[in-house]
Amino acid sequence: MAKAAWVTGGAGGIGAAVARRLAAQGYRVLVTDVDVDRGSAVADEVGGVFRRCDVTDPADSLAAVAAATDAFGGLDLAFLNAGVATGFGLEEGFSPEAYRRVMSINLDGVVYGVHAALPALKARGGGNIVATASLAGLTAVPFDPIYGANKAAVVGLVRALGPLYAGDGIRVNALCPSFAETAIIADVRDALLGAGVPLLEVSDVVAAFDSILAGSGTGEAWFVQVGRTPEPFAFRNVPGPRTDAGDKAPSADTSVQAAFREG
């Protein structure tokens, strides 16, 4: 039986490119997006199925997974890729409505997608969840703090979910590209090029996605940077507790994840 994948934000850019790659690898692909015309065209191109899905609505994500299981008999991979640029800060130009929209797409969409996909992946005996984050989730982003906040939240979510679902055979990882040649950078592309910032090709991001699937790790955030081989970002461990005498506390030898697992 062919494996089945669900791609959000699949109407263009990284989502469409990954849908094409997965289809070439033998996956049956459910393409979802709010852009019905372009999303349907990608689905037709890859021999898949299209469904309109607004990732800010949890019911839409549940319906998308149901459509995938109905069409393909199950789900093996969820690529939670839908995202938008922010383009405003916390002073002039800020509005609660705009803030909630970008947080709902970039963060809530991943949360709702994971929630929808987990039962189907468990029913398959395991699988993969890959969420598109950004290098902005790995470093300070003073020029776009809201975008940095929602992408950092995606990274934190993935790092927590990885060990949580490893026992179910479900790997959860994040794809963290720098600026890539996609529509999301349209408003800043000239400024980036003028500042000498090199842009990733979408094919570079797809290659990193392939590396995530080919690996065995979970809870990882894979950086994708021009001229570098993509790999998991090496997070430094937080300082452990100490006794009043300055010695390592006994509990410091037990990881936070293990403590939660052990109840």
Q: So which residues are the catalytic ones? A: 147
Angle at 12 between CA 233 and CA 26, to 5 degrees: 75
Instruction: Estimate to the nearest angstrom the gap between the alpha carbon of 196 and the chain centroid.
Output: 27
User: Is the distance from CB of 42 to CB of 112 less than 8 angstroms?
Assistant: no
State the Cα–Cα distance between residues 6 and 20, nearest whole angstrom.
12
In this structure, which amino acid lies at residue 132? T
State the Cα–Cα distance between residues 83 and 251, nearest whole angstrom.
40
